[in-house]
């Protein structure tokens, strides 16, 4: 396959298989918002509404409207989700609940700051698509709330005894690096710069450990490795996703050194996380090769693979490093053979170690309309640049 073939494949999978799946099956026409618990062919098997996925779906359809085609059905679909969220999504402190009933009644308290991150991202993208101030106001207020809560994100729900082992998690600084670019048009440029500087430094200097060749999920208060279950945990897909976030920042800044470093880390994470026996990237590993706590450690997840493809393709585009192209082809092959469902659209989410479908669902509590459409869009557009940059000589190898 050459870049043109990949472009066609990603574009048609996105527009003919993935977007229609969500448009046709996920609308809650009675209450507003989306059903995300959809089985293989799109039937609803559970009606609870999880805030991460409600927000992410608003974001996806706003993004498609903005960047792919000004299709008013897509914008309406995003807006009906946003309206449901505005009406039902926040508690009395304006923190976002974790889940709601289909009617919009709060089910799970606002313990999870990532609900807020995805809300801010959704409303920022929708404000860009519509120019509507109702949306931009919510995006900015939520963003400010996240910054205020970031040092103690779980608040009263935190189970850690204070002072004994105050580890820092990778997820929040990583997501902030992406979120701040999403909401940039609504923020003071100085705040954008400060957030990016601090995010990039945190990822590259604290969580990336050159001596281990991986990005850790948790480090101690001084940014050092800590030998406990949490401290030893590696989530290769998470690290890979963060690498393309940082590459996007490095590209804006024209920082070739940072691009090079991200590319090397991407290759190192792939080498580390790849299952040499069965193919695919492990979900969790213990950096000291001890038994991980997560029983699902050896499963192969859709988002891990599509985020890895984006990272390594961006690395290829920005460095021309042939190792990236080789990894890209390997990842594409595994992903296309195992996750894609041409019959019903959308992708499977969860495979066992051998690559067999573990759960036939297309959406659930944690899988919604996000990684696949975002990833297909990113791959399509990145591959267009690969093609136009005439990296084709290499790419046809």
Q: Using CB atoms within 10 A of its CB, is residue 30 exposed (0-12), middle (13-18) or buried (19+)?
A: exposed
Residue span binding its own copies (CB under 8 A) among the ranges 99-107, 115-123, 174-182, 386-394:
99-107
**Residue closest to 179 by CA, chosen among 113, 265, 104, 120:** 120
Q: Select the residue interacting with its own copies from 8, 87, 105, 252 (CB under 8 A).
A: 105
344 touches its own copies (CB under 8 A): no
Residue in the block written with tokens 């059903």:
35
Q: Report the residue number, 149 or 329, with the smaller CB distance to its own copies.
A: 149
Three-state secondary structure of 301-366: EHHHHHHHHHHHHHHHHHHCCHHHHHHHHHHHHHHHHHCECCCCCCECCEECCCCCEEECCCCCCC
Applying CB under 8 A, what is the total number of residues that bind its own copies?
41
DSSP 27: B
Q: Select the residue interacting with its own copies from 31, 41, 94, 108 (CB under 8 A).
A: 108
Q: Report the residue number, 315 or 368, with the smaller CB distance to its own copies.
A: 368
Q: Select the residue interacting with its own copies from 123, 208, 325, 350 (CB under 8 A).
A: 350
Residue span binding its own copies (CB under 8 A) among the ranges 26-34, 161-169, 218-226, 318-326:
161-169
Q: Report the residue number, 115 or 195, with the smaller CB distance to its own copies.
A: 115
Query: Per CB under 8 A, which of residues 292..331 are in contact with its own copies?
Result: 292-293, 295-299
Beta-ladder partners of 37: 46
Our CA dihedral for 247, 299, 234, 54, rounded to 10 degrees, sits at 60
CA distance 355 to 306: 15
Q: Select the residue interacting with its own copies from 20, 41, 132, 165 (CB under 8 A).
A: 165
Q: What is the distance, to the nearest Å, from the Cα of residue 213 to the centroid of all Cα atoms in its chain?
A: 22
**Residue closest to 9 by CA, chosen among 344, 285, 318, 384:** 384
Let me know how long the chain is. Answer: 397
Q: Select the residue interacting with its own copies from 131, 189, 291, 393 (CB under 8 A).
A: 291
Q: Select the residue interacting with its own copies from 225, 226, 229, 336 (CB under 8 A).
A: 229
87 touches its own copies (CB under 8 A): no
3-state secondary structure of 176: helix
CA distance 208 to 225: 10
Query: Per CB under 8 A, which of residues 176..215 are in contact with its own copies?
Result: none
Query: Per CB under 8 A, which of residues 36..55 are in contact with its own copies?
Result: 39, 45-46, 48
Residue span binding its own copies (CB under 8 A) among the ranges 97-105, 121-129, 245-253, 322-330:
97-105
159 touches its own copies (CB under 8 A): yes
**Least CB distance from residue 300 to its own copies, whole Å?**
11
**Least CB distance from residue 345 to its own copies, whole Å?**
17
**Least CB distance from residue 162 to its own copies, whole Å?**
9
Q: Report the residue number, 107 or 392, with the smaller CB distance to its own copies.
A: 107
Q: Which token pair is 152?
A: 């103690």
Q: Report the residue number, 1 or 293, with the smaller CB distance to its own copies.
A: 293
Long-range contacts of range 322-331, CB-CB < 8 Å, 24 or more positions apart? 322/394, 322/397, 323/267, 324/263, 324/266, 324/267, 325/394, 325/395, 325/397, 327/267, 327/270, 329/1, 331/270, 331/305
Q: Select the residue interacting with its own copies from 149, 209, 323, 353 (CB under 8 A).
A: 353
CA distance 322 to 194: 34
149 touches its own copies (CB under 8 A): no
- Tell which phi-psi region holds residue 138, choosing left (phi > 0), alpha (psi between -120 and 50) or beta: alpha
**Which positions lie near its own copies, rule CB under 8 A?**
39, 45-46, 48, 97-98, 101, 105-109, 111, 156-157, 159-161, 164-165, 228-229, 288, 290-293, 295-299, 350, 352-353, 358-361, 364-365
């Amino acid at each position: 396959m050459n870049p043109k073939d990949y472009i066609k494949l990603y574009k048609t999978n996105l527009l003919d298989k993935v977007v229609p799946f969500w448009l046709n099956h996920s609308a809650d026409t009675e209450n507003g918002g989306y059903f995300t618990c959809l089985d293989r062919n799109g039937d609803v098997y559970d009606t609870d509404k999880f805030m991460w996925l409600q927000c992410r779906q608003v974001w996806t359809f706003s993004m498609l409207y903005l960047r792919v085609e000004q299709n008013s059905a897509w914008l309406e679909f995003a807006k009906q989700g946003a309206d449901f969220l505005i009406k039902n999504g926040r508690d009395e402190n304006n923190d976002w609940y974790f889940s709601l009933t289909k009617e919009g009644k709060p089910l799970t308290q606002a313990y999870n700051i990532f609900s807020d991150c995805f809300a801010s991202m959704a409303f920022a993208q929708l404000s860009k698509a519509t120019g509507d101030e109702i949306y931009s106001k919510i995006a900015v207020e939520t963003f400010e709330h996240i910054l205020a809560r970031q040092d103690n994100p779980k608040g009263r729900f935190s189970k850690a005894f204070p002072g004994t082992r105050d580890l820092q998690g990778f997820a929040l600084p990583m997501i902030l690096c992406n979120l701040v670019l999403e909401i940039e048009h609504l923020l003071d440029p100085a705040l954008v710069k400060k957030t990016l500087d601090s995010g990039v430094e945190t990822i590259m200097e604290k969580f990336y450990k050159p001596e281990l060749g991986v990005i850790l999920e948790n480090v101690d208060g001084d940014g050092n490795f800590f030998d406990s279950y949490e401290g030893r945990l590696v989530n290769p897909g998470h690290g890979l996703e963060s690498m393309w976030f940082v590459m996007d920042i490095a590209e804006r800044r024209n920082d070739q050194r940072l691009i090079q470093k991200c590319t090397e880390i991407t290759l190192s994470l792939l080498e580390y996380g790849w299952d040499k026996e069965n193919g695919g990237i492990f979900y969790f590993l213990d950096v000291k090769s001890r038994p991980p706590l997560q029983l699902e450690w050896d499963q192969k997840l859709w988002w891990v693979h599509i985020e890895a493809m984006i990272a390594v393709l961006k690395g290829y585009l920005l460095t021309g490093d042939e190792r990236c192209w080789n990894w890209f082809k390997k990842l594409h092959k595994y992903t296309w053979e195992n996750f894609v469902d041409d019959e019903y659209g959308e992708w499977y989410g969860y495979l066992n170690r051998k690559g067999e479908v573990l759960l036939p669902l297309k959406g659930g509590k944690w899988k919604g309309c996000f990684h696949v459409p975002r990833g297909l869009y990113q791959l399509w557009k990145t591959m267009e640049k690969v093609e136009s940059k005439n990296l084709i000589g290499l790419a046809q190898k």
